[in-house]
Amino acid sequence: MGLSQSPNIVTGCVKCLRIGAIAGAILIATVAMPSVAKAQPTVTETAAQLDDAGARRPLVSRTDGPRQTLESLLSLRAELERSLGEYLQTQSYESHLRLAATFDQAIALIDLDEVPLASRDKVGFETLGAILDILGRVAPPRLNDIPDGDAARALGEPSYGIPGTPLRIVRVEHGEHAGEYLFGANTVAVAPRFLRQIERLPLRSELPIKSWQGVFLDLTGPMIPIGLVLEAPDGLRGLVLDTPIWKVLIAGAVLVAVGSGVTLLIWFNASPGPRSGLTPILRALLPPIALVVVTAMVGYFFRYELNILGRFARAWDVVETIIVYMAVTWAFWLMTVALLDWVISRGTPSKQSFDASMLRLIGRMFAVLGGLTILSIGASEIGLPVLSILAGLGIGGLAIALAIRPTLENLIGGFILYLDRPVKVGDFCTFGDQAGTIESIGIRSTQIRALDRTVISIPNSQFADMQLINWARCDQMLIERTIGLRYETDTEQLRYVLVKIREMLHAHPRIDSGTVRVRFSGHGDFSLDISIRVYAMTQEWNDYFAIQEDVLLRIDEIVRATGAGFAFPSQTLYVGRDILPDDASAAAARREVAGWRQSRRLPFPDFAPTTLERLASTLPYPPRGSAVAGAGESDEPAAGDERLSAAPKQNHDVDSRPTDPVEQPKKA
């Protein structure tokens, strides 16, 4: 153990938890300990100022030269011993804050710019313990023998190595601490390795401790009683991932309890609720907000109260960062979509208009780019060089992109299918000359269950470019048929059939009455054709075929009740005697045309304008007897109607020959 068997054991080492405004979306306020304010790059004040006024002489930490940096560390070590002793006696939050602020001040003397941001505090804490253990076992040189900032610059030496140790104080050239002399970035790696070689040497300290790192392993916050640490069995004091076993067990129990609570919260939140107003938006945002808040609280407990260390702490830092940034990305996406829907609902264009569709597309692109940006920041915090990778995609990246072009096309195609959503899993659709039900949309291909129950796999890039007919999104389903009646059907029978079919369709409860269209469409090769086009009020195929079957059976009953019959391909051969042309009628037609010529009324190539005016609307329509015909209308032409006759008048003063040459009397 790092502490001797005294009745008190140090139970706290805390650092500032910085959970703030992430991506401008969610502000998580947590209990945080005051940080030591940073002044100029070479001068900062230590935690001694947090004590009562005049109780201690304020300490000043200087980093403008190797001598000043080492002197500041030795002064802070003395302050740490005093703060640690005070905390051993009181275990109060005030002494806890003073101790934590002193630790932060000492960690600031180490160059941690190369450490991932998510693990920087813990790595700095562990590295500080190794430095204190080394300087407590190896006597440092006299301060007067160490060059100050002016001497180091005059000698042109950017660093100073502490004799007897691999520790070097290096002048920082870039970044936030440019110009300061700090313990070099390689201290993170070399200090623990060198400490393992000299750990058997005694530690010089005013406290009854054997190792600063051992002290750090036993540290907990004020919430955990000292007696709990003292009564821990020796078997639980071993290390797992550089953390005592009893701390790992407590951390596991907390994660299980918190995970169960969050799961129940999400499960209860998934129950049906209102679909309008702010309630669905708030319910949708509840899971990601809960994840961020709970993760921040668990992280606070792990760092400040339980004080996990080593690889276990770094693993938790990675997990915590991933959860927080993914939850923030989730919340950002939900908020963007909700805001977009609100803007569309407040505007004049309909939700299915072109403007609304373009707004949705732009909004989702913004949500995707924003989410990727948030995830990139989170990835950089855990040490993934996302920005460097993106910046390095030059000519070499182009060659790689060309090599994986098909994969990228399919990936982008699947992304487009998810964004545009022409189909979704479970939809029945037609594509090309095939049809089937969407089973899955993967990274590379879309799986479709065909009508013969086989599975069709189509690359996303090809499927996204196809003309897709999504039958699952039909609000109504079309029934379109053409029936043919025999040519023996007279006009009144035909009208009767048309009326009865219209009546039946308007009365049918599963047919949209406003879409009924039943018309005599023309004379076919062997039938009188009736075109029927209506919409069935259903979205399910089995129901659609049942409605269509019922409609067709009722049409069959109507046709047979009329005495008519359905036509079928046939030919009729008529045998009769040839009838000679009617010479009298032909002569009358010639005289009528001659009269048109003499009176300059020949209607070729077109009728005269005055004639067109007299002809306009002189035929009765709808025909006589129609239910919608106007009252008082007559089938007779109006008086004075001088329309051109449809057939030439016969001149009965002219002799006409008999029409039937067989019945003509024989001459003597």
Q: For 303-361, how does the pLDDT look when each residue is reduced to its tens digit (9 = 90+)?
A: 878 878 778 888 888 888 889 999 999 989 888 888 877 777 766 544 444 456 567 66
Instruction: Give yes or no for a contact between 501 and 519, defined as CB atoms under 8 angstroms apart.
Output: no
Q: According to the model, what pLDDT value does residue 657 have?
A: 41
User: Residue 458 is encoded by which pair of tokens?
Assistant: 């189509």
Confidence class for position 398, pLDDT limits 50, 70, 90: low
Element (H, E) at 485: strand 477-485
pLDDT (mean) for 9-23 = 32
Q: What is the pLDDT of residues 535-549, one digit of tens each?
A: 999 988 889 999 999
pLDDT digits (tens, 9 = 90+) for 404-445: 677 778 777 877 787 777 888 888 899 988 899 988 887 778
Look up residue 397 and give its two tokens.
Answer: 């990246």
* Averaged pLDDT, 35-39: 29
pLDDT recorded at residue 518 = 93
pLDDT class of 274 with cuts at 50, 70, 90: low
Q: Over 60: is that where the pLDDT of 395 sits? A: no
pLDDT at res. 35: 29
**Rounded to an integer, what distance in angstroms lies between the CA atom of residue 269 and that of residue 284?**
8
* Whole-angstrom distance, CA of residue 392 vs CA of residue 388: 6
Q: Is the pLDDT of residue 665 over 70?
A: no
Which residue's entry shows tokens 């009269």?
A: 595
Stretch among 363-377, 575-589, 648-662 having the lowest mean pLDDT: 648-662
SS3 150: helix
Residue 8 has pLDDT above 50, yes or no: no
First to last CA, the chain: 155
State the Cα–Cα distance between residues 511 and 532, nearest whole angstrom: 12
- List the one residue out of 212, 170, 186 whose CA is nearest residue 81: 212
Sequence letter at residue 298: V
Query: Measuring CA to CA, which residue among 194, 153, 191 is closest to residue 65?
Result: 153
Whole-number pLDDT of residue 622: 72
Q: What would the pLDDT profile of 497-513 be if each residue is shown by its tens digit?
A: 998 998 999 999 999 98
If DSSP codes are grouped into helix, strand and coil, which group holds residue 428?
strand
For the stretch 220-254, pLDDT in tens is: 777 877 667 767 777 777 777 878 888 888 888 98
CB 110 within 8 A of CB 143: no
Q: How confident is the model at residue 573 (pLDDT cuts 50, 70, 90)?
A: confident
Q: Report the residue count for the chain.
A: 668
- In tens, the pLDDT along 45-93 reads 334 444 444 445 556 678 888 888 888 888 888 888 888 888 777 777 8
- Taking each helix axis as running N to C, give the angle between helix 66-90 and helix 93-107, from 0 to 180 degrees, rounded to the nearest 10: 160
The answer to whether 79 touches 48, Cβ cutoff 8 Å, is yes
Q: Are 168 and 87 in contact (CB under 8 A)?
A: no
Higher-confidence residue: 176 or 579? 176
Alpha carbons 194 and 349: distance in angstroms, whole number: 71
Q: Which of 602, 600, 611, 594 is nearest to 651 (CA)?
A: 594
What span, in angstroms and rounded, lies between the C-alpha atoms of 665 and 668? 10
Note the pLDDT of residue 361: 61
